[in-house]
A and B are shown apart, each in its own frame.
Chain A
Amino acid sequence: MKNASASAAERGEDSNNHNSKSPAKRLKDVEVSVPIVYGTISFWLGKKATETQSHKWTVYVRGATNADLGAVVKRVVFQLHPSFNNPVRAVESPPFELSECGWGEFEIAITLYFHADACDKPLTLFHHLKLYSEDEPGTQSIKKPVVVESYDEIVFPDPSENFFARVKNHPAILSYVSAPLGLHSVEEVNEAKEEETKDHPLSQWFKNFSEGDELSKLAAARQQVQGHIVKLRNQLSSMNGQLESVVIECD
């Protein structure tokens, strides 16, 4: 609550707005960001593989730290290849995943439906199901699956008050509150804690996405570029000086 009240951006509305019928107040300077990982894991069935069912795969959407997405996501609809029976599969509760057997690779459309106070518009992601690994073509192992995961974040730029109140203290959900007066100070209200990986049969294969790597690389790159900029600027100014002197000489 401290942080929430610190930001004068909240327009001083009463926070206890339980009546969902009346238009919920939206917080303009708060951004709720839900880091998610979505992807597929595919196991070769080895001896039990048939022509039409050579791999068993699972497509899923999970919180980046394996946290529960149920607070934000109401249901997930996976749209499979039309050759599947009932290609539109809806998963109504976490964990939001779907397992199937098949032989072919195709693009899966993952549509996330959110709770009403978060957003009433669904969001669609696309993921290409990969069954065959790139390295060692031809040799597949029953034990080692082919894992393709993508990290992304769902951003709610103008969250409603209810929603914000609900997810403020959620371990897996990040909220960014920017202070007024245009000062770019971003406070992360919640650090994405390393939650204990819940008992998930596939959790051993989950990749860990940490931003530290990228950040350091980016920082280094920026430094370099900035250095070059400074150099160039100096050169330019010195050149200008020289030019002037040249012009004077010529006259």
Chain B
Amino acid sequence: MDAKDILGIPKTTPSLPHEKKSRPPKDSQRKPDGISREVYALTGGLAPLMPSIDVNQLKKKTQAENEKITWQWLPFTSSARKDNLQLYHWVRVVNGVPPTGDYSFAKYNKSIDVIKYTDEEYEKFLEDPAWTREETDQLFDLSARFDLRFVVIADKLPYSRTVEELKNRYYSVSRAILIARAASPADVSGHPLVKEPYNLAQETERKRALSMILSQSKHQERRDAEVYAEAKKIMEARMAAKAAQDSELIPISTGGAGDAERDNVNVDDESPSNPQFLSAPPISIAETASASASLRKLRVYLRTYGFEQMVQAASSSAGLRTIKRVEQILQDLGVNMKPKVPTKTVCEEHLELRKEILTLLNLQKQFQYKEAEGSSYREGSYPETPGTPKSFQRILDQDRTFIPDSTCFGAEFSGEHIVKRDQKRKAPGRPTDASSSPANKRPRKLKNTDE
């Protein structure tokens, strides 16, 4: 600041010195007890919103007032040691009475009971070509010393044996001894050694595999992961396919008593053995084929049911109006909708009849279209589109076109074709004439059926 004065540079804004001055008094004012100034500054100079630790909850030092506590440097012995070595340590003495009891850590000195066998036993049960008596003795001795820490034992032994081999020898010997000493095999059968003997080959393999995985490079790891993922996907796909197959088969396959064998249901669609639909319009042949195939898949069905299926299949290509027409015709012909006596032949005949009626209706439609075309050609002045000639419209409007009627109708038409050509005007009139009296049609229709 003084330097600036000397240099003549204008002083900085007067607010700065204000801040500087105001801050220290603020800090010193608000410094709370219990927390050092620096720590407090960490929080930005503000107290925390919530108390972080309740000081009252902290453990209080329990010290009864009437006791006198001193600390003394005293010797002690430990039962864990066998050599009566005396060591010293600080002891908390209460009212002049030193604590009694064993060294508090002595209880952690656990050791393993390693089996000791006699020479007799060795000769009887424990002979092994790969191991000499000496080696076995050494092994056991070391096991006892080192509490079955086989890694250490392996290191200690003069001859080189793998850890697994050592383990194998140790456990098989112990097992043999156990079984031999037991009064009856049943007594020791619960012993873990007896129940699950040490498997040398398996253990070696396992350790080898583990070490391989451990030593895998990152690259290898990634490759393995990929293979796993793919395998999982394949498995899932297979499971899904199997589930789909099963659910398909279940409705087809038979339930009930005979669970043991079911024939493999012939699922592929063979061509129907009875090609009775030669005359039918080609569209519904496929439908009926699949219907009959699905019927064949059922083990048993009622004739009426089968019949209905076939009827549905046959009429699947036709619209609702056509179906109604078919049924109307059937009625007029005196045939029952559903045969009263549905034997095989009757049903077949009925289906044939239906097919033929459908054919008839199709032909009729074609006929009418042709007619319309023809009329549009002839009456060039008429701005009628071929698709909706008036004559055709009339036919459509009458829902109840008795087929025999329209065939007579058609007969009339074609009969007077040549006449029509000359008498253009009359052409639209004709339909009205022909259809004006549906009542008259009836007797005529009856005549037809009587033929």
Contact A182 B271 (CB under 8 A): yes
Does A169 sit at the interface, judged by CB under 8 A?
Answer: no
Chain B residue contacts of A86, Cβ below 8 A = none
How many whole Å from B266's CB to the nearest CB in chain A?
Answer: 7
Comparing A40-48, A198-206, A207-215, the segment that makes contact with chain B is: A207-215
Bound-state Cα–Cα, A125 to B224, Å: 60
Q: B341: which of A211, A222, A247 is its contact (CB, 8 Å)?
A: A211
Chain A residue contacts of B254, Cβ below 8 A = 119-121
Are A231 and B341 also in contact (CB < 8 A) when A182-B273, A225-B357 are? no
Closest residue on chain A to residue B261 by CB atoms: A23
Bin the interface of chain A by size: 35 or more
Are A120 and B257 also in contact (CB < 8 A) when A156-B300, A184-B274, A217-B335 are? yes
Are A157 and B303 also in contact (CB < 8 A) when A28-B266, A119-B254 are? no
Does B176 sit at the interface, judged by CB under 8 A?
Answer: no
Comparing B49-57, B60-68, B105-113, B409-417, the segment that makes contact with chain A is: B409-417
Q: B300: which of A155, A211, A215 is its contact (CB, 8 Å)?
A: A155
Does B350 sit at the interface, judged by CB under 8 A?
Answer: yes
Bound-state Cα–Cα, A225 to B355, Å: 10
Contact A236 B366 (CB under 8 A): yes
Interface string of A105-130 (1 = CB under 8 A from B): 00000000110101111110100000
Contact B353 A222 (CB under 8 A): yes
How many whole Å from B296's CB to the nearest CB in chain A?
Answer: 5
Closest residue on chain B to residue A9 by CB atoms: B273
Contact B356 A226 (CB under 8 A): yes
Q: A157: which of B258, B295, B371, B378 is its contact (CB, 8 Å)?
A: B295
Does B298 sit at the interface, judged by CB under 8 A?
Answer: yes
Does B346 sit at the interface, judged by CB under 8 A?
Answer: yes
Contact B371 A239 (CB under 8 A): yes
Instruction: List which B232-265 residues lie within 8 A (CB) of chain A.
Output: 254-258, 260-264
Contact A184 B275 (CB under 8 A): yes
Contact B333 A224 (CB under 8 A): yes
Bound-state Cα–Cα, A231 to B404, Å: 11
How many whole Å from A65's CB to the nearest CB in chain B?
Answer: 12
Contact A154 B303 (CB under 8 A): yes
Closest residue on chain A to residue B260 by CB atoms: A21
Does A242 sit at the interface, judged by CB under 8 A?
Answer: yes
Bound-state Cα–Cα, A113 to B300, Å: 11
Bound-state Cα–Cα, A80 to B342, Å: 26
Does B229 sit at the interface, judged by CB under 8 A?
Answer: no
Can you spell out 7 A-B residue pairs with CB atoms less than 8 angstroms apart? A156-B300, A184-B274, A186-B344, A214-B339, A222-B353, A225-B356, A250-B380
B interface residues, Cβ below 8 angstroms from A: 254-258, 260-264, 266, 271, 273-276, 295-296, 298-304, 306, 329-330, 333-336, 339-346, 349-350, 352-353, 356-357, 359-360, 363-364, 366-367, 370-371, 373-374, 377-378, 380, 403-404, 407, 410-411, 414, 417, 448-449, 451
A interface residues, Cβ below 8 angstroms from B: 21-24, 26, 28-29, 31, 33, 35, 113-114, 116, 118-123, 125, 151-158, 160, 174, 176, 178, 182, 184, 186, 209-211, 213-215, 217-222, 224-229, 231-233, 235-236, 238-240, 242-243, 246-247, 250
